[in-house]
Structure 1
Amino acid sequence: MADLLAWPLLLLRADGRLLHANQAGQRLLARGEPLRLSGAGAVTVASERGAWAEALAAAAAGRRLLLSTGGAAMVLAPLAAGGPLLLALAPACGSREADVRGFAQAHQLSAAEGRVLLRLALGDSPADTAQVLGITAATVRSQLVAIRRKTGHASIADLAAAAASAAAGPSADAARAACRAC
């Protein structure tokens, strides 16, 4: 289920070792910025090693923390006393396309299907989508059939709502607001 989310989620041990990462988290670690995976399997923040170690210790002690690095807000929180830590990264503002791409990848859509899905998430009609993408309405219709089959959405309205919901994933501001409530 976590792989359906377009923003990175990492499950860590108290010492920072990675237990699990969703697909977006794996892509983030593969890029190496702002987080890296060490040879020992520990997640590190290259520019803030000391602060990262302090944050891990505080979260392991039960505190929920809002951190910021590389333009992304991160929430680090314990899931249960003595248990693993959840590191959730809110994408930088303006990442709607990345969120829809993540949704498309999670459902194994082709690149062309992903472009159609993005136009729907932006509020375009199928006719507008065809015009913007420079393809025929028949091509859009056939891609919509394939997208609905792969995602399990029976109607275009449901599909557009799901894509828009993926694109409206948590912003850095939303993560900050959520953390203030912690």
Structure 2
Amino acid sequence: MRSTNNETLLREGIPGDFPFIDSLHKEEGHALGFIPKGVYLSVLEKRRIDQRDRWKYSKIYITEDNGEQTGYCYVSFHGEMAKVFQIVVRKDARRWYRATLMLSRVEEEAMRRGKKGVEARVAIDLESNLFWRAMGYEPIKVLTSTWLNQRESKSKRPLFLYQKLFLPLFQQGQKTTEKEIEQ
């Protein structure tokens, strides 16, 4: 899939993408949650790691510009909602259209799989909150991170849980009658 600028290619990740993902993850570690190496490898290599077959319900998307990797997105389609765990673009290539291209693919795949919507957890202090809101995602609650960060210590960083729902509210049981919808 190419973007309208005819330069950015979006594709599924392959095993050869791991060094790029690992490098970008380390470079942007302050903004990203901790994800063990085996998680990426399970998805990229389509093999069982840690008794889990993540490739069956997860994807890693890669953006490329002029043959160079410029970003990646790690997403899970397990459960009712698709969950974006990481979406990151190299600093020198940081433009919204690359992240938008990846997020659009996530949304298309989530709809194809019959998911209710997409969600993501984003640290409150990150500039990327502007991106998520601009893409139509609503912060529905504030959470405290319970994941281990890259230094293997518990992070107490507050996070927004963003959601974008695909179905009208009345189809999700939140509004059940015409009268409730009009109010």
TM-score (norm 1): 0.22
Q: Which structure has the larger Rg over C-alpha atoms? A: 1
Q: Which structure is richer in relative contact order (CA contacts within 8 A, separation 6 or more)?
A: 1
From the two aligned structures, give the one with the greater helix fraction: 1
TM-score (norm 2): 0.22
